[in-house]
Structure 1
Amino acid sequence: MIDPVLLRDHPAVIKASQEARGDSPALVDAALEADGIRRAAISEFERLRAEQNAFGKRVAQAAPDEKKALVAEVQQLAARVKEANQTATDAAARFDEIVRGIGNVIIDGVPAGGEDDFVTLREVGEIPTFDFPARDHLEIGEILDAIDMGRGAKVSGARFYYLKGIGARLEIALMNMALDRAMAAGFIPLITPTLVKPEIMQGTGFLGAHSDEVYHLPKEDLYLTGTSEVALAGYHSDEIIDVEKGPLRYAGWSTCYRSEAGSHGKDTRGIIRVHQFNKLEMFCYIRPDAAEAEHARLLSLQEEMLQSLGLSYRVIDTAAGDLGSSAARKFDVEAWVPTQNAYRELTSTSNCTTFQARRLDTRYRTESGKTAPVATLNGTLATTRWIVAILETHQLEDGSVRVPEALRPYLGGLEILEPATRR
């Protein structure tokens, strides 16, 4: 949710952000109007309540015969207070409904436009080349007996899979490597719930334009999370936390679920775009004035991880229209996938400023003693999709795969993933 003070004092800033996102700036005018009605309704309610309190004191001090004459006025005033309270409640709900449709205000420098309007910040590493016909990750996975799409589809349907043998070990190794790095950087490990209440899913901003990508269990009214960011953001909801001494940093390990609505025919081969995967997500609660520096720190941790795995990648500054409602800025890190001859997103990191914290009522106490919303940030440090880039980048002519040196300790020192026919 955007800052109501910013809405009132600088509506042009929010309108510019809406336009950069490709969203309607008219929502800002509607929100301003609703805010005015809400504030007027609250003022009228408070005026009548004060009048009621004063009248109550007068009644208490009145003589017995006078009290009887005042009863009708007491009842009339009580009815007016009740009506004013309902009017204020309705006005607040209307304002909340409108303002929740406005995306987070983008940070200066974020490129305007949609999915294809990103800005490339840097490219790192040499593009891998081969003196043999490169295989894609699924073919390699089948040679290694590491990926079984057929049985995944048989048991669960399209875009489900089994990671088997060395494939399962490879994912666990990757996640453990990421967890070790996160802990070394001061993150507290959490294994998070993957089912959350509607108010938590709504609070993180995932029930907006892309709500059709979220699995919902109507009977229980719970949502399956597409990232542990959701549960991590809800961890301190309705709390006042201490970030004056430093940020609270968590690393959430969870299974994630996405319906991938609207992606039919796109990346249907292999494990690039699937309905279920594992992920290690970094999440930070921090003072708002330190959020941009923390964002750069999260990005550097991601880049160090990719470099350690010997992957070539680029970092892009995502355009405003591709941020999602919660992020004020997002950096995507895309690894080179040889058989696609293209960079593909492996990870991203978002600065959500105070947007999620306002919706989830997560605050800190300032030096003045007052409370204010914290800033929240997130960034993925490892996920199942990384296996795609690892297998394709480090493949050898015979279908085996060279294990990146940094990953070997997590695979018992294994240097080469051998084809199943050799075992």
Structure 2
Amino acid sequence: MDALFVSSWTGHRVGARRGRTCARVRMSIDFRRVAERVDEYRVNIENRKVGADVERVLELYEGYRASVTELTAIRTKKNENSAQMKKIKTMTQEDKDACIKEGKALKEQSQVLEDKTRELEAELNAEGSKLPNLTHPDVPVGEEANATVLRVVGEQRDFDFPIRSHLDLGLDLDMFDFENAAIVTGQKFYYLRNAGALLELALINWAMSIAASRGFTPMTTPDLAREGMVQGCGFQPRGPESQVYRVDETDLCLVGTAEIPLAGYYAGKILDKEALPIKMAAFSHCFRQEVGGAGSAVRGLYRVHQFSKVELFVIATEDQSDEIHQELRAMEEEMFESLGLHFKTLDMPTEDLGNPAYRKFDIEAWMPARGESGSYGEISSASNCTDYQARRLNIRYREGKGDNKFAHTLNGTACAVPRMIVAILENNQQEDGSVVVPEVLRPYLGGMDVIRPSPKKKEVLKS
């Protein structure tokens, strides 16, 4: 048997429990493609520096195919034996006994092979899931420093007064509170207050309004997803390198991005080609453990465990995805340029790509007080994941009669609120400690044009 794809249940269901049966979602990895392009996969794994073993995958694939072939042969013999059993009344006693004995032996052999095949399939899919997506030929090879600069917008502001960090500015403006958040929840959590809370809502509404005007369906999403959905999107819910928060005694995880529930929305679906691309924009809370983040460059709001974000997600055909990827990049650039930010757009190198990404554009904004002397910090990214996620979530579209293809998925960050606040505060600060509000955000802040220090009212908190 020549197995084109190996499909396995991802362990989650699609659909409501009431009123109809919930269908499980099948993951389909094209192992024939891996076998045919094994040298390309070897180089790709090395360039990305990921923990995947294509040789082990091929070994398991061959073992699985052999087991399936053997199981098919046994089942054929079982069918032949069953056909003989129907004639058992016309047989001699000796033939009856032989037929019954053969049937029992075939049943036992079949069960052993089914268990073996199931185990091989599970191990094959586990190892296969570690393989990263193939990489766009224009992506630079190496670590983050090798990124290609595609565009630079604006210039670094020339300050004629001492630059203050967003943390100092925000605390003086009573915009956020890390101290009480640490008591309530722990380090890397925060409260937004006063203009800080209003600015978050303004940024969300601004980003959602733009997305809606560009044809994206506005959505809000669950903050939880099943492990199968998380894995299907290429994130690891378990293991030492996982950044995912899991809910004990359940198969639920707190999502790190709305990309996960948006992709899951169409899991197991077959879409009409004419309906593509499907464009969605979702506001959600995001939760990430962010293990290892420390130092002055990531203090304050730059790297936190929970934040709000507006995410763009697109389901497209194979022919559409490259063009849509460029559209996402252009849309993000236009949005951040309208905020008056100085930033650069980067074509990220192989070692900075997550497993699902075929190509990824990052946008890094100038943050004058980041680190010791200011630096650029990532505020957005846009990734083309080709069919990597769609295969794992079984999202397909009808190409023709009886011809279904796996869709391509893309994602982009319209607005990651904390880092946008960092960039706005540090770039728009004034000598008196106030912060000028970008003009495009003022309608969402009731016309507020400047965030000014106000006399603090002493709050007495009694325990």
Instruction: Give me the TM-score of the superposition, normalised by structure 1.
Output: 0.94
Distance, in Å, in 2 between the alignment partners of 1:262 and 1:6 is 36
- Over residues 10-44 of structure 1, what are the superposed CA-to-partner deviations in whole Å (9 max), with x where a residue is unaligned? 1112112112112367x112211211111111122
Q: What is the aligned partner in structure 1 of residue 75 from structure 2? A: 49
Query: Quick one: which amino acid aligns to residue 228 of structure 2?
Result: E
Determine whether 1:68 maps to 2:101.
no
Select which of 127, 131, 135 maps to 1:102: 131
Q: What is the aligned partner in structure 1 of residue 409 from structure 2? A: 376
Query: Quick one: which amino acid aligns to residue 318 of structure 2?
Result: P
Query: Quick one: which amino acid aligns to residue 22 of structure 1?
Result: K
Comparing 338-347 with 150-159, which one deviates more in the overlay? Answer: 150-159
- 1:2/1:105 contact within 8 Å kept: no
- Over residues 115-149 of structure 1, what are the superposed CA-to-partner deviations in whole Å (9 max), with x where a residue is unaligned? 32222212111211221112211222123221222
- 2:267/2:394 contact within 8 Å kept: yes
CA 1:377–1:24 in structure 2 vs 1: closer, same or farther (change >3 Å)? same
Alignment of 1:72-221 (within 5 A): 72-207=101-236, 211-221=241-251
Distance, in Å, in 1 between the alignment partners of 2:383 and 2:68 is 36
CA 1:337–1:383 in structure 2 vs 1: closer, same or farther (change >3 Å)? same
Q: What is the aligned partner in structure 1 of residue 461 from structure 2? A: none
- 1:52/1:78 contact within 8 Å kept: yes
Q: What is the aligned partner in structure 2 of residue 366 from structure 1? A: 399
- 1:137/1:391 contact within 8 Å kept: yes
Distance, in Å, in 1 between the alignment partners of 2:241 and 2:268 is 23
Q: What is the aligned partner in structure 1 of residue 382 from structure 2? A: 349
- Over residues 304-356 of structure 1, what are the superposed CA-to-partner deviations in whole Å (9 max), with x where a residue is unaligned? 11011110100111111111111111111000101232111001111111111
Select which of 39, 51, 68 maps to 2:65: 39
Distance, in Å, in 2 between the alignment partners of 1:86 and 1:244 is 42
Distance, in Å, in 2 between the alignment partners of 1:101 and 1:419 is 51
Q: What is the aligned partner in structure 2 of residue 254 from structure 1? A: 284
- 1:22/1:114 contact within 8 Å kept: no
Q: What is the aligned partner in structure 1 of residue 435 from structure 2? A: 401
Distance, in Å, in 2 between the alignment partners of 1:210 and 1:186 is 40
Determine whether 1:388 maps to 2:388.
no
Deviation for aligned residue 1:370: 2.3
Q: What is the aligned partner in structure 1 of residue 254 from structure 2? A: 224
Determine whether 1:295 maps to 2:325.
yes
Q: What is the aligned partner in structure 2 of residue 239 from structure 1? A: 269
Deviation for aligned residue 1:62: 4.5
Select which of 294, 311, 335 maps to 1:305: 335
Comparing 138-147 with 165-174, which one deviates more in the overlay? Answer: 138-147
Q: What is the aligned partner in structure 1 of residue 6 from structure 2? A: none
- Over residues 163-191 of structure 1, what are the superposed CA-to-partner deviations in whole Å (9 max), with x where a residue is unaligned? 11111111100110100111111111221
Query: Quick one: which amino acid aligns to residue 328 of structure 1?
Result: Y
Query: Quick one: which amino acid aligns to residue 386 of structure 1?
Result: M
Q: What is the aligned partner in structure 2 of residue 280 from structure 1? A: 310
CA 1:9–1:303 in structure 2 vs 1: closer, same or farther (change >3 Å)? same
Comparing 227-236 with 361-370, which one deviates more in the overlay? Answer: 361-370
Unaligned residue ranges in structure 2 (runs of 5+): 1-27, 458-463
Distance, in Å, in 1 between the alignment partners of 2:258 and 2:390 is 16
Q: What is the aligned partner in structure 2 of residue 22 from structure 1? A: 49
Query: Quick one: which amino acid aligns to residue 439 of structure 2?
Result: E
Distance, in Å, in 1 between the alignment partners of 2:242 and 2:356 is 17
Distance, in Å, in 2 between the alignment partners of 1:368 and 1:118 is 43
The percent of aligned pairs where both chains have the same amino acid is 39
Distance, in Å, in 2 between the alignment partners of 1:43 and 1:94 is 18
Distance, in Å, in 1 between the alignment partners of 2:414 and 2:266 is 22
Deviation for aligned residue 1:5: 2.7
Q: What is the aligned partner in structure 1 of residue 19 from structure 2? A: none
Give SS of 2:369's match.
Answer: helix
Query: Quick one: which amino acid aligns to residue 438 of structure 2?
Result: P
Give SS of 2:455's match.
Answer: helix
CA 1:199–1:403 in structure 2 vs 1: closer, same or farther (change >3 Å)? same
Select which of 404, 411, 415 maps to 2:449: 415
Distance, in Å, in 2 between the alignment partners of 1:3 and 1:230 is 22
Query: Quick one: which amino acid aligns to residue 336 of structure 1?
Result: W
- 2:51/2:130 contact within 8 Å kept: no
Distance, in Å, in 2 between the alignment partners of 1:180 and 1:65 is 79
Deviation for aligned residue 1:368: 4.4
CA 1:368–1:40 in structure 2 vs 1: closer, same or farther (change >3 Å)? farther
Q: Which has the higher helix share?
A: 1
Instruction: Give me the TM-score of the superposition, normalised by structure 2.
Output: 0.86
Unaligned residue ranges in structure 1 (runs of 5+): none
- Over residues 362-410 of structure 1, what are the superposed CA-to-partner deviations in whole Å (9 max), with x where a residue is unaligned? 2222224222221111111012210110111111111112111111111
- Over residues 31-72 of structure 1, what are the superposed CA-to-partner deviations in whole Å (9 max), with x where a residue is unaligned? 112111111111221222122223322322443444733222
Deviation for aligned residue 1:210: 7.2
Say how many residue pairs are matched: 422
- Over residues 243-265 of structure 1, what are the superposed CA-to-partner deviations in whole Å (9 max), with x where a residue is unaligned? 44321111121111111111133
Distance, in Å, in 1 between the alignment partners of 2:401 and 2:269 is 18
